[in-house]
Structure 1
Amino acid sequence: MRQSLKQLLAATGGALGTMAAASTVLAHVVVIPVNPTPPTAGAWEQYTMRVPCERTDPTVKIVLKIPQGVQFDDYEPIPGWTVSTSQTGGSQIVTWQATGNGIAPGQFMQFPFIASNPSTPGNIAWDAYQYYKDGTIVTWTGPTGSATPHSVTQILSASPATSATSDTTPAGTSGVSAPAAPTWSAGWTMADTVILTVSIVSILLSGLALAFALRRDNAR
């Protein structure tokens, strides 16, 4: 019986560890394009910054450093939040400041805005700084795969048809097509899918280990 209990604890511990790793990957500040078509160089884009609160204190401020070559333009007002822009070291900085309770623990909020993509294709990194009510600051500025990664967007080359459409967009529309209906997967990546799948498999294997252990004990 003791051996079975040890096996159960080991299997359960492994499953919980995998689930913890999955939650760490999923719980970070990301900036994602709303339009389902891949972002193209020189085009106007609607982005959404998704901010989860993963501590016991609420998130009360988010500072986003706009990547080089990107121009922040408009933002969607969010009740309970003010928005301000500034320049630091040649970089554009956008700050969302809570005027109320902010983002409660276990919740997330989305902050839409419009920006122009850089004129050349490549990857752009969105450095973000998350401020909690207790004074803690989480810097989402690390490389992909780190504990606190920044969000990365791949900008593709614009096709001639896309460029023509962008050039003929009427003034005042910012060149942004109607946003696609939001989906539950906001920012979901292949890595997230793999880790979630591994977590589910680990839980199933833990259940099977427990069932076999109990069956073996009963047979004795």
Structure 2
Amino acid sequence: MRQHPTTLRTAARAALGTLAAVCAACLVLVAAPGWAHVTVNPATATQGGYIALSFRVPTESDSASTTKVEVFLPIDHPLASVSVRPHPGWHAKVVTKKLATPLSTDDGQVTEGVYSITWTPDSPANALKPGEYDEFDVSVGPLPDVSSLTFKTLQTYSDGTIVRWIDPPAADGQPEPEHPAPTLTLLPASGQASADAPSSGDAGASGSGSGDGKATTALVLSIIAVLLGAGALGGSLLRRRTG
């Protein structure tokens, strides 16, 4: 039996309201103390381009301060250009290594690549205290034609504890590792997806009434899928918190 478009739109609005509630609950769980991770922001970039990256570092300890942040760049996919932004109250040490295969650039061949960047505070007063976070910035490029780049990171605390953010990203459907490495997802620069999309004239030729019904139905199904995924995420987080 064909449903009336108004009924479908009402269902879509109700699903959106439920989705908002579920997402809000998941955000509360993610933002809870003790669940912060070292991350790279933004999380996505375009292959072949240049980008400014921020490594966001929270102090998770209740009693010790962060006194060193060491980020390792992916040596298997070296970056020809790496620039470190000055960070007030901290100084950076850049370590380079000779590349097995030189990189060809517009300015000639690059024979050495940045292996690691280590930030340390100029004085204990500048260390990241419990409950604080900071961002350490670099500009890199051109980004290689791979699906992602992983930046393994070591975080050292004033009590000598070292947290190793080196775990690979979880596979689809698997729980997140305890100490995931900051990962930058790289998207193709090609605009093929938009080129394959039908024109507005083609869409209009199929009839507005039928198109609205199909679009609304697709919206409802998409929302249901997102709800299921959000529910699974919330359940996983709750199990981890109570486990």
TM, length-normalised to structure 2: 0.53
Determine the C-alpha separation between the residues in 2 that align with 1:21 and 1:46.
Answer: 25
Structure 1 pair 114–20 and aligned structure 2 pair: CA distance change class (3 A): closer
SS of 1:57's partner is: coil
Name the counterpart of 2:109. Answer: none
Per-residue deviation, 1:96? 0.5
Residue correspondence of structure 1 range 3-42 to structure 2 within 5 A: 23-24=33-34, 26-33=35-42, 38-42=44-48
Structure 2 residues not aligned, in runs of 5+: 1-27, 100-113, 170-175, 193-228, 239-243
Q: Does 1:87 align with 2:96?
A: yes
Q: Does 1:131 align with 2:156?
A: yes
Structure 1 pair 111–195 and aligned structure 2 pair: CA distance change class (3 A): farther
Q: Does 1:77 align with 2:108?
A: no
Structure 1 pair 134–87 and aligned structure 2 pair: CA distance change class (3 A): same
Determine the C-alpha separation between the residues in 2 that align with 1:121 and 1:67.
Answer: 12
CA deviation vs aligned residue, 1:101-130 (integer Å, no higher than 9, x gap) = 310001100112101143213111110000
Name the counterpart of 1:159. Answer: 190
Q: Which amino acid aligns with 1:63?
A: E
Q: Which amino acid aligns with 1:61?
A: K
Determine the C-alpha separation between the residues in 2 that align with 1:42 and 1:120.
Answer: 7
Determine the C-alpha separation between the residues in 2 that align with 1:121 and 1:23.
Answer: 34
Per-residue deviation, 1:62? 0.3
CA deviation vs aligned residue, 1:193-215 (integer Å, no higher than 9, x gap) = x549x77xxxxxxxxxxxxxxxx
Q: Which amino acid aligns with 1:40?
A: T
Structure 1 pair 155–65 and aligned structure 2 pair: CA distance change class (3 A): same
Name the counterpart of 2:166. Answer: 141
Aligned with 1:44 (options 41, 50, 64): 50
Determine the C-alpha separation between the residues in 2 that align with 1:48 and 1:103.
Answer: 16
SS of 1:148's partner is: coil
Aligned with 1:116 (options 112, 121, 141): 141
Structure 1 residues not aligned, in runs of 5+: 1-17, 162-189, 200-220
Of the structure 1 ranges 130-139 and 84-93, higher mean CA displacement relative to structure 2 is found in: 84-93
Determine the C-alpha separation between the residues in 1 that align with 2:162 and 2:191.
Answer: 44
Identity of aligned residues (%): 27
Determine the C-alpha separation between the residues in 2 that align with 1:129 and 1:117.
Answer: 25
Aligned with 1:63 (options 51, 62, 70): 70
Determine the C-alpha separation between the residues in 2 that align with 1:89 and 1:147.
Answer: 33
Q: Which amino acid aligns with 1:132?
A: Y
Determine the C-alpha separation between the residues in 2 that align with 1:87 and 1:76.
Answer: 17
Name which one, 1 or 2, has greater alpha-carbon Rg: 2
Per-residue deviation, 1:52? 0.2
Determine the C-alpha separation between the residues in 1 that align with 2:132 and 2:31.
Answer: 19
Q: How many equivalent pairs are there?
A: 150
RMSD between superposed Cα atoms in Å: 3.4
- Tell me, yes or no, if the aligned pair for 1:33 and 1:45 is still in contact at 8 Å: no
